[in-house]
Amino acid sequence: MKLQSPRGTRDFYPAECAWRNYLVQAWRTVSIRNGFEEVDGPIFESLDLYKVKSGEGIVSELFHFQDRGERDLAIRPEFTPTLARMVAAKANSLPRPIKWYCVPNLCRAERPQRGRLREFWQWNCDIIGVNDATADAESIFTMIDLLRELGLRSEHVVVKISHRTSVRHILQKLGVPEDRIPQAFNLLDRRDKMEEDEFRQEATKLGLDEDRVERFEQTCRRKYPCGDVDHMCRSIGLGDTMDDLRALDDKLTAFGIADWCEYDLGIVRGLAYYTGTVYEVHERSGAMRAMAGGGRYDQLVELFGGPSMPAVGFGMGDVVLTDVLVDKGLVPENVMPRPDAFVVAMSDTQTTAALTLTARLRAAGLHARFSYKTTRNLGKLLKDADACRARYAVIIGENGEIDAKKLADASQQRVTTESLMELLCKTREPLARG
């Protein structure tokens, strides 16, 4: 019987695992330098945790089960409910602001398709306790910092920014009844996946006449550059409801990321817990689904029994991010960890010496490998060293002499064990980033 991995999941062989680790290390590096601290939680939670946040409808999107105590549990599809639960549990003792990040693996019971799998890894960053546009801007800045870390530029991707309260006011001015606002948000969230005729048909179901459907479509598809909030307000007849975006606009400029951002009032994010600013990262051609998304969720911690606390955050999955980096030719040729040394013995009498030297190098924190082959053909052994991208071949001669051969330029020098370790430590490379 031939068994395969479940549909929508991936097997991570060494090369794939190295790439995943490369991304995770980039996420961690950027998180730490932006002042976030790492947290994590259980891979499964009470099913009620997700119902509290998203309602009964979420159950069909989860992998859920009963344990032996007949408790209803679910594998985590996202981290935000866990984060809100954790903050609510210790809200009075946590220093403010709370700046947390995590890199969980998540599972969702949905149809696999390009850019979306049933199991994936996601980077989350959240700022809790700051009711100011500075936190929204810093959240966006952190996303952009990661994109730059991986070689992407503003001509490759764009951060589309909106505000749910402002969009709500626009919908109300167009005549959308209050009880149909959630339906309108859902339509906006799906607009880029729909043909124009289908979008118009769905818009008429909101109670809009033909003229208002036209205005609705124009409003949600129009883009405004960062720095142009006042023009956007005049264009759509809104004033004070844009104050949050005006404040955010100033902060984005201060952070130096205005050229990465634009305002798109068709962005609302489908999750109902967002309360203000929302944003998504898109590849500029629009060929792929959103690479990341987030926004402000000022009521979620309170929903889980904690105090009222403002919060903003985002999530970025590994699947679409990888697709975009591949498409832009930004995936490094090889991210497998490079050995500092590949130790070979040129005679049977030095086999034990090779193992002893390898152990000493490893004890010094160096990445050292050795040959398992019985051949003493130096040419073949050097090919093996080159194949694993070792920086140095360490050759132990018949009389115990040690030569360090730099494979990049074939230069070679006679060394002692001590001088070898000094040489390798001085020129070593970080393991995690290849």
Q: Per-domain residue ranges for the chain?
A: 14-41+79-327, 341-427
Q: Provide φ and ψ at 93, rounded to 5°.
A: -105, -5
User: Per-residue pLDDT averaged across 355-384, rounded?
Assistant: 95
Cα 236 from chain centre: 34
Position 333 pLDDT exceeds 80? yes
Classified by CATH at the fold level, domain 14-41+79-327 comes out as BirA Bifunctional Protein; domain 2 (3.30.930)
DSSP per-residue string spanning 130-147: --SHHHHHHHHHHHHHHH
Position 430 pLDDT exceeds 60? no
State the pLDDT confidence band at 29, using cuts at 50, 70 and 90: very high
Other beta carbons within 10 angstroms of residue 223's beta carbon come to 13
For 212-222, the pLDDT digits (tens) are 777 777 777 77
User: What pLDDT is stored for residue 432 in this prediction?
Assistant: 42
Q: What percent of the chain has pLDDT over 90?
A: 68
User: Per-residue pLDDT averaged across 272-299, rounded?
Assistant: 90
Mapped onto helix, strand or coil, the DSSP state of residue 89 is helix
CA 207 vs CA 130, 132, 192, 293, 389: distances in Å: 38, 36, 21, 30, 65
For 240-252, the pLDDT digits (tens) are 557 888 899 999 9
pTM exceeding the 0.85 threshold for the entire prediction? yes
Q: What percent of the chain has pLDDT over 70?
A: 97
DSSP per-residue string spanning 304-331: TTS----EEEEEEEHHHHHHHHHHTT-S
User: What pLDDT is stored for residue 408 in this prediction?
Assistant: 94
**What type of residue is 27?**
W
Across the chain, mean pLDDT equals 90
- Rounded CA Rg of the chain: 27
- Do 106 and 79 form a contact (C-beta atoms < 8 A)? yes
User: Per-residue pLDDT averaged across 283-302, rounded?
Assistant: 91
Other beta carbons within 10 angstroms of residue 93's beta carbon come to 6
What CATH number labels 341-427?
A: 3.40.50.800
User: Per-residue pLDDT averaged across 246-275, rounded?
Assistant: 88
User: What pLDDT is stored for residue 219 in this prediction?
Assistant: 73
User: What pLDDT is stored for residue 241 in this prediction?
Assistant: 58
Q: Would you say the C-alpha torsion 157, 331, 431, 419 has a positive or negative sign? A: negative
State the pLDDT confidence band at 239, using cuts at 50, 70 and 90: low
Only one residue has tokens 């393991």, namely: 431
- In 11-132, which residue ranges form alpha helices assigned H by DSSP? 14-33, 47-54, 80-89
